[in-house]
Structure 1
């Protein structure tokens, strides 16, 4: 397998005040690795890193910082964990639908198995026996259980939309799954082999990594919350629009979740992602990828609140005690974390700086940076990627572009962006795939200049400073290079199924009349239509025809998210008889049409 050529050519790495370990000539050419997750092995002498941009795995000697080996893995690695008595690592490869089983021995990496698991495998959890693992399949709403000895899928659980990350209890009997598409934590009884219960996160979006407590009583996780209040400076600063939380959910019985608020007045926390706890149970550490922070807490004294809480801003108790809470500005985009056996050294995968940061969480000091390759040259694309994930571009750094357009896609909520000039007219988030080819922009289509639309997003929706023409061009360059995962509703060779072929005929028929508006390569005519779903509160009349590409990834439909399924769209709010005055579709036509729509 060869490494694919990437256009990421780099930005300068700013590490003037922190030691940077010398690295021998890297095993690959000078391109970005973009580390997303890390795991320690062999009594902390080795660190293994999953690199997303280069589709590779790196092996590092922790004492010297030397890169001992680097090998290719599947497409778009996302998570990594140790397994099989600590002699192997598992890597989830989201875009190739595989789990790579890699042997770590003698300072070398060797892929021994590649397990086909399904579509968009993301988060991993390994059972205490080291021979059983679990992976969330985001595209199909399932968790796959893997038999690592046999290198096969043993069974699957249906859990709900977007199961990105998960964690298994220390006794191997319970599995917690964060389903961001349905704002809930699902707990599976692994002995019975069934879902036991789920815990709702009201307004929850973007659930991050998960970790179980040593006693197996709780699972801990970071997430963000959206609260449907008008976007203005006061509401943002109060935490009434978007906010960040750490939550915990009981694993042994169903109880309302408990949480703490992370956001500091004036300098909020954005896009929390990674989480780790030390073995002594003293510290809980979270990476905030949007605001570039490492958040360090004294775990046992945290002011957890259940029903009615937590507050909108951080509990003052945390601000008064620097041992109870402290944040470290790491820069870059800190993501996956690994805790050393000394209970104080944390290894941080810094995606944008292309390094592993080594942090002493007791002295609150960055010890060193370990580069993953030669320093690449600056590029427009990488600069655009930085801007897209940077919450510091918003008012008091509350949220980034990624917060709503998760990795360039969508989230699970209809939101008030204030972009169309009216408050509390909720709109679903549109994906940014082919954004430069699917104008006009916004749901009402009043934006005919993409640069101006981006300007409005930064200054109105995010209440931040505007993007310069150079920055806007960089963001668009980045979005043009984004790849998307393969469609799970296509045949293995990429063709349409028999049902989807029938559905295409329905789509193009005069009865359904879909193709009269959803036309062309991106299934949009770029025009404004009144489909009878307007609101008196809307500033504009009619709606811009949205592109249908990748529609299977959505969980809310129509401009205001009133429909929770494609079936609801086609037989109720947006049925042919309502929109075009034609006849109702038969049950079989609806089923076939949905098969076709999901294949787009």
Structure 2
């Protein structure tokens, strides 16, 4: 049992630390807002007449308008916030989501460049979809895990609860369903199954159907449907998290996949690997079907390439294996396909594209446009003929020398740093170095004792690193990760750049706050946080005092071991909790897994006090 004899002094430290935290990160968030010198293109969109390409410049705070025939920049429309997605309203107007914690939905008049806000207060809004038939708009309120249904004027009609972090959505051509992809799995990490999900929303009733993807599916990035509305395709990482991280060969740790969904039948057809036996296809992102329906194209953000897949051949193979017929040496039944690195052999071409950060893509005619996030350009690939090839590129601005932070961010997302390009750092730490929700059995603290992935936010400011503190600091952890997770030897400059990127990360304000402020419950919870002893360990501006404690959460061989006190900053974003992800919620941490009050004095708290404490912690 911990002692709390220094409580009055700790209360003073707590309040001072809170003031420092609010002041420091409030300024940091303000400084990060606005346009940067880099464009960071994503979220490509083509006009209905295919004459105009729209590009969201996600750190340039602008919408680039490009002529598809000349491949030249027509104009750039300035936006009040950095854009996160776009959809076509009509021949002259776009719907654009923008901003982060106080996100907005914008209406953009392309001809006049007039921009007006039709809704605000969403938390990291993404994936706008326009439903002309019902005169509705659908927007993913990402960190509130919901789809917001609005009128065309922005008036909120309904909120539809979905799974964790909806990040991409597409409506079927007949307007019957919305297919929603979610970045992260939702639930505890210490069981036999954990995967992100796809949700189908019936747009008449707004009822939902949740589809489970194969075990380990995470980092879902994009979704598209074919012209018939029969099949949807979702890109994602397929993690082999139940294996110890002893090697990378043949996709031992992470593989990269596209899942095929039969939308009318509301079922997963199968999941197909995009990797080859000795060459990964890391971090699949954008996905699209060409106008004729013959090719499925996937952008690979980690390997700077696109996959061009013969769609008829793909579905023939899937139908054959579903019927129990042998397709490859591995796949003679459907359940083997997600483990078959040769399933696409002969039916897919990999096309290298110059630049770095191949994220979004869109197809018009026989041309694929690919957004190269880190090199601020659009690459164009010609699909005509039997051998697709890159035929040009458009720089979106002047060449700007990369800052150390930007270079480190690029390295963090670049699988060329990894043996056989199976994964990048972002494969396990997606969304700016945060979490994948999974447990991994790294060998730095033994074997057979998996740990939940930690957010890298504030990792350099809160040593030591790792749950058991086995790395003295984050600098040591970065270098060990390159050697023992990427299985590579890299120049010191690469690791130093990644350090600079991670140090530059800033927390996002919690969606549990109201207009940026603590709710009444959270204000009461702040008092409970102090009086229950939470501040004994979670003190100071980073809500950790940097020591390790045995709070009774160690199991088996780790029983009695001391665990590093994690920061609580942005803890609302990092579920599940505890070192092995056994706690689905903060309440579970405080009550269910708090034996003998070793993790704070909560056993005598009323239900209301527990709820208030949870509200406060989730507001940090």
Q: Secondary structure at the match of 1:308?
A: helix
- 1:441-471, Cα deviation, whole Å (9 max, x unpaired): 1111122233221111111122222451x22
As a proportion of its length, which structure holds more helix? 2
- Normalising by structure 2, what TM-score? 0.85
Structure 2 contact 478–499 (Cα < 8 Å) conserved = no
**Hey, what does 1:179 align to over in structure 2?**
182
Gap change, CA 1:433 and 1:255, over 3 Å in 2: same
Q: 1:576 deviation in Å?
A: 6.5
Structure 1 contact 419–457 (Cα < 8 Å) conserved = no
**Hey, what does 1:521 align to over in structure 2?**
541
Q: Which runs of 4+ in 1 moved over 6 A?
A: 4-8
**Hey, what does 1:283 align to over in structure 2?**
295
Q: Secondary structure at the match of 2:144?
A: coil
Unaligned runs of 5+ in 1: 9-27
Q: 1:74 deviation in Å?
A: 4.1
Of 155, 165, 168, the residue aligned with 1:152 is 155
Q: Residue 86 in 1 paired to residue 94 in 2?
A: no
Q: Residue 533 in 1 paired to residue 533 in 2?
A: no
Q: Distance in 2 between matches of 1:423 and 1:62?
A: 54
Of 349, 360, 369, the residue aligned with 2:371 is 349
Structure 2 contact 454–574 (Cα < 8 Å) conserved = no
Q: Distance in 1 between matches of 2:150 and 2:87?
A: 13
434-443 or 194-203, which moves further after superposition? 194-203
Q: Distance in 2 between matches of 1:270 and 1:61?
A: 31
**Hey, what does 2:261 align to over in structure 1?**
249
Q: Residue 568 in 1 paired to residue 574 in 2?
A: no
**Hey, what does 1:125 align to over in structure 2?**
129
- 1:296-353, Cα deviation, whole Å (9 max, x unpaired): 001121133675132424225x32x2xx21011224011111111x2x2011111011
Q: Secondary structure at the match of 1:54?
A: coil
**Hey, what does 1:169 align to over in structure 2?**
172
Matches for 1:536-555 after TM superposition, within 5 Å: 536-538=556-558, 541-555=561-575
Matches for 1:377-388 after TM superposition, within 5 Å: 377-388=401-412
**Hey, what does 1:583 align to over in structure 2?**
603
408-417 or 182-191, which moves further after superposition? 408-417
Of 300, 305, 312, the residue aligned with 1:293 is 305
Q: 1:81 deviation in Å?
A: 2.0
Matches for 1:198-277 after TM superposition, within 5 Å: 198-232=211-245, 234=247, 236-277=248-289
Q: Secondary structure at the match of 1:192?
A: coil
**Hey, what does 1:19 align to over in structure 2?**
none
**Hey, what does 1:499 align to over in structure 2?**
521
Gap change, CA 1:480 and 1:40, over 3 Å in 2: same
**Hey, what does 2:350 align to over in structure 1?**
327
Q: 1:435 deviation in Å?
A: 2.0
Q: 1:500 deviation in Å?
A: 0.4
Unaligned runs of 5+ in 2: 1-28, 186-195, 323-333
Q: Distance in 2 between matches of 1:525 and 1:467?
A: 33
Gap change, CA 1:579 and 1:599, over 3 Å in 2: closer
Gap change, CA 1:392 and 1:382, over 3 Å in 2: same
Q: 1:555 deviation in Å?
A: 2.6
Structure 1 contact 399–462 (Cα < 8 Å) conserved = yes
Structure 2 contact 46–362 (Cα < 8 Å) conserved = yes
Gap change, CA 1:522 and 1:192, over 3 Å in 2: same
Q: Secondary structure at the match of 1:439?
A: coil
Total equivalences in the alignment: 563
**Hey, what does 2:576 align to over in structure 1?**
556
- 1:122-164, Cα deviation, whole Å (9 max, x unpaired): 222233549433121111110012322x232222100121111
Gap change, CA 1:313 and 1:69, over 3 Å in 2: same
Q: Residue 486 in 1 paired to residue 509 in 2?
A: yes
Q: Distance in 1 between matches of 2:159 and 2:142?
A: 13
Q: Distance in 2 between matches of 1:282 and 1:390?
A: 30
Q: 1:252 deviation in Å?
A: 2.2
Q: Residue 141 in 1 paired to residue 178 in 2?
A: no
Structure 2 contact 220–236 (Cα < 8 Å) conserved = yes
Q: Distance in 1 between matches of 2:498 and 2:71?
A: 33
Q: 1:56 deviation in Å?
A: 1.3
Gap change, CA 1:465 and 1:358, over 3 Å in 2: same
296-305 or 577-586, which moves further after superposition? 577-586
Q: Distance in 1 between matches of 2:462 and 2:434?
A: 16
Q: Secondary structure at the match of 2:476?
A: helix
**Hey, what does 2:463 align to over in structure 1?**
439
Q: Residue 312 in 1 paired to residue 316 in 2?
A: no
Q: Residue 77 in 1 paired to residue 80 in 2?
A: no
Structure 2 contact 430–436 (Cα < 8 Å) conserved = no
Q: Secondary structure at the match of 1:286?
A: strand
Q: Distance in 2 between matches of 1:215 and 1:200?
A: 23
